[in-house]
Amino acid sequence: MIQWVELTVFTLLFGLVTVLGFVASRWQRGDTLDHLDEWGLGGRKFGSWITWFLVGGDLYTAYTFVAVPALLFSAGAMGFFALPYTVILYPLVFLPVLRLWSVSRVHGYVTPADFVRGRYGSSLLALLVAITGILATMPYIALQLVGLEAVLRTMGLNGTGFLGHLPLLVAFVVLAVYTYQSGLRAPALIAFVKDILIYVVILVAVVYLPAKLGGWEVIFGAAEQKMATTNPNTGQPTGSILLTANNQLQYITLALGSALALFLYPHCITGVLASRGRAVLKRNMIALPAYSLLLGLLALLGYVAIAAGVKPITNGATGRPDTNTIIPVLFDNEFGSIFAGVAFAAIGIGALVPAAIMSIAAANLWTRNIYKEYLHRDANPAQEAKQAKLASLVVKFGAVAFILFVDPQFSIDLQLIGGVVILQTLPAVAIALYTRWLHRWALVAGWVAGMGYGMYLLYQIPNVAAKKAHFGGSALTLDKLDLLGWQPFAGSTLQIYVGFVALAVNLLVAVLVTLVLRRTGTSAGADATSPQDYHADEGSSRVKPVTQSAAGH
């Protein structure tokens, strides 16, 4: 049955952001939208507030808001890694992000691959970084749809087959059209609405629900009870509200690995490059943890859902219970229809903002590092912008097709792989911000090794609870870690994050190959950047005017 009041509130708010999305093309507009700096980076002039909402909406996605509590709901303490992950994130990236902003602003780089191209004079390395970025982003977009669909299904739009996906398709066509028209300004403006709604909803929920259910002690008690029950598939306890001896290392490496990976994702870099100057970014690194606090509180709603006796909805398309619906169901059960509708709109709109930014980022990569590099070398800025707009449509409909024709579980698996994959660009992008010591061919070799080994390890991981033999998660039991048949930790039951192991192999290979290539004197390529470029700020004469920068590629 369809929840009409909730659906009406949802539709009204959705309509509001649609109008905003179209109006955005006129907001703070430059001379022309036919330029990648304008369409793809909003004119590179966003101030502190816009950046806070935009990057906040970009990093803390609808899927995160739905999946993190779902993880606590089903596995316990392990899901809480999202909090340390987003706390160490800002001190970790504070300095490198500033260097990336400066060098990109001086040279007019739009994507991380542009920077790699300039830093190493290697179009192959840039191509690898671009492809990695696109591959890692695609399933991420698809996951935003999973978040949006969880909400739609909770409101009763839980049809089977194609009809069940139709509301999602409608929502995405609307998103695709206004992103095409307004570029990055659309998600920037919509992010204001999304984030304000999210803050209101979550703050109300974490104050009201514990009071209603008898306090946190009762809630954690209920969670502890549920985690102690035996999972029939594994014969082990379902989970634990504390870390166990086996998953502590996984908790640490997953938090650290995720923090290292996040600002390598093209959509996060897009948010950074769209800001006006270094001071804007610095202030944001201080203010963005407000979202981390929110995410931590939201994560605990997973336990609140246990205490409130929430049962996940069975997805009409796959026929399986979908734990991603627990937060929507919790709101549906515990709040009045109007507030639940607002909450659903917050999550739904929360899916649109990152999906738009991700598709823009992927489109920028395609345009700058594949189309312009290999297909149409002398494309002018207007042609670049046109190409990127079209690419953003292709990317979005690719993601929708994914959800329509492939089991959503596959997107979740791919997103897991995506994190491991994007981490392999760390040496070429993040380390390159500080030193060119690693040789460009060594970086290629490291990428191949890290990528191959990461895939191999992910393939080896089963998920007994979900009855899967391969790609069952990102937690590798050290016992299974083998290097060409050699098992250094045989017998160990400790778990570690695969991405971390793959990155270590990547770095090791890169260092070894660099040493060899230095001996043989292989050309290291030309560096288009100079040391001062990494400190240039807004207003510096090094910085090119926005509309000319991309032309002088």
Backbone angles phi, psi at 461, to 5 degrees: -85, 120
Lookup: tokens for 173: 């066509």
- 175 or 300: whose CB is closer to another protein? 300
x/- contact string, 283-302, with another protein (CB under 8 A)?
A: x-xx--x--xx--x---x--
Which residue, 532, 550, 552, is CA-closest to 542? 532
- 78 or 189: whose CB is closer to another protein? 78
- 127 or 219: whose CB is closer to another protein? 219
CA-CA-CA-CA torsion sign (473, 328, 345, 288) = negative
Out of 251, 263, 371, 447, the residue judged to bind another protein by CB under 8 A: 251
- 132 or 292: whose CB is closer to another protein? 292
Rounded CA-CA distance 373/390 in Å is 17
Query: CB of residue 217 vs another protein: minimum separation in angstroms?
Result: 3
Query: CB of residue 292 vs another protein: minimum separation in angstroms?
Result: 6
Number of residues engaging another protein in binding (CB under 8 A):
46
Which residue, 500, 504, 505, is CA-closest to 259? 500
Query: CB of residue 553 vs another protein: minimum separation in angstroms?
Result: 22
- 138 or 295: whose CB is closer to another protein? 295
Query: CB of residue 30 vs another protein: minimum separation in angstroms?
Result: 23
Query: CB of residue 120 vs another protein: minimum separation in angstroms?
Result: 16
Contact 450, 261 (CB under 8 A): no
Task: Quote the radius of gyration of the chain (alpha carbons, Å).
Answer: 23
Backbone angles phi, psi at 529, to 5 degrees: -100, 155
Query: CB of residue 533 vs another protein: minimum separation in angstroms?
Result: 8
- 189 or 307: whose CB is closer to another protein? 307
Torsion from C-alpha of 168, 174, 176, 177, nearest 10 degrees: 160
Rounded CA-CA distance 317/169 in Å is 14
Query: Measured in Å, how far apart are the chain's first and last C-alpha atoms?
Result: 56
Query: CB of residue 69 vs another protein: minimum separation in angstroms?
Result: 13
According to the binding rule CB under 8 A, does residue 537 interact with another protein? yes
Q: How many CB atoms lie within 10 A of CB 376?
A: 13
Contact 186, 349 (CB under 8 A): no
Query: CB of residue 535 vs another protein: minimum separation in angstroms?
Result: 7
Q: How many CB atoms lie within 10 A of CB 514?
A: 21
- 90 or 471: whose CB is closer to another protein? 90
Q: Which stretch binds another protein (CB under 8 A): 155-163, 165-173, 398-406, 528-536?
A: 528-536
CA angle 223, 227, 230 (to 5 degrees): 150
DSSP letter at 237 equals B
Tell me which residue has tokens 């999946």: 67
Query: CB of residue 532 vs another protein: minimum separation in angstroms?
Result: 5
Query: CB of residue 31 vs another protein: minimum separation in angstroms?
Result: 23
- 105 or 396: whose CB is closer to another protein? 105
Tell me which residue has tokens 């001071």: 279
Q: CA dist 468 to 174, 232, 426, 525, Å?
A: 36, 15, 30, 46
Chain residues 46-85 in contact with another protein, contact rule CB under 8 A:
77, 80, 83-84
CA-CA-CA-CA torsion sign (497, 262, 296, 206) = negative
Q: Which stretch binds another protein (CB under 8 A): 150-158, 244-252, 412-420, 515-523?
A: 244-252
Contact 156, 1 (CB under 8 A): yes
Out of 536, 547, 549, 553, the residue judged to bind another protein by CB under 8 A: 536
Query: CB of residue 147 vs another protein: minimum separation in angstroms?
Result: 24
- 257 or 312: whose CB is closer to another protein? 257
Torsion from C-alpha of 536, 537, 541, 542, nearest 10 degrees: 30
Query: CB of residue 328 vs another protein: minimum separation in angstroms?
Result: 23
Query: CB of residue 456 vs another protein: minimum separation in angstroms?
Result: 27
Out of 48, 123, 246, 248, the residue judged to bind another protein by CB under 8 A: 248
Chain residues 346-375 in contact with another protein, contact rule CB under 8 A:
none
Chain residues 414-443 in contact with another protein, contact rule CB under 8 A:
434
Q: How many CB atoms lie within 10 A of CB 449?
A: 20
x/- contact string, 448-487, with another protein (CB under 8 A)?
A: ----------------------------------------
3-state secondary structure 258-270: HHHHHCCCHHHHH
Residues in the chain: 553
Three-state secondary-structure class, residue 64 = helix
x/- contact string, 80-119, with another protein (CB under 8 A)?
A: x--xx--xx-xxx-xx------------------------
Out of 397, 534, 544, 551, the residue judged to bind another protein by CB under 8 A: 534
Chain residues 163-222 in contact with another protein, contact rule CB under 8 A:
215-220
- 325 or 474: whose CB is closer to another protein? 474
Query: CB of residue 40 vs another protein: minimum separation in angstroms?
Result: 26
Which residue, 296, 534, 306, is CA-closest to 433? 534
Exposure class string for 337-368: b at 16+ Cβ within 10 A, else e = bebbbbbbbbbbbbbbbbbbbbbbbbbbbbbb
- How many contiguous H segments (helices) and E segments (strands) does the chain have? 22, 4
- 257 or 381: whose CB is closer to another protein? 257
> Footprint of another protein on this chain (CB under 8 A)?
77, 80, 83-84, 87-88, 90-92, 94-95, 215-220, 241-243, 248, 251-252, 255-256, 279, 282-283, 285-286, 289, 292-293, 296, 300, 434, 531-532, 534-537, 539-542
